[in-house]
Amino acid sequence: MNNHLRTLRADRGWSQADLAAALGVSRQTVNALETGRYDPSLPLAFKIARVFEQPIEAIFSDTGA
């Protein structure tokens, strides 16, 4: 699964630690999300969408199928 997390975060001038604090996860998790090493659960994906005030499909895109 692809995502635009790094771009969205950079646009807002947030650090990985800032985003991690907003999402209630570790900085390592934010890094793994941004580098595509970890796909978030549905609840975390919704939380990310709320933090960036965008729909989920604007942040994540499916690479398969």
Partner 1 sequence: MSRSEISTQPLVVKILGGLALAAVGALTGAALANAIEGRNMPWADSLALAMAVALITIGVLSAITMALRPSTVPKGCGVLQIVVFLLAGAMFLAPMYASAFVTADTVFAGIAVLLAVQTVANVMLWRRADEMLRQVMAETSAIAFWALQTALFLYAAAERLGLVDTISGWGLTGILMAVYLVSSIAAAARRGIH
Site residues, partner 1 (CB under 8 A): 12-18, 20-22, 24-29, 31-32, 35, 37-38, 40-41, 44
CB of residue 52 vs partner 1: minimum separation in angstroms? 11
HEC-encoded secondary structure of the chain: CEECHHHHHHHCCCCHHHHHHHHCCCHHHHHHHHCCCCCCCHHHHHHHHHHHCCCHHHHEECCCC
* Distance in Å, CB of 21 to partner 1, minimum: 7
Report the residue number, 40 or 60, with the smaller CB distance to partner 1: 40
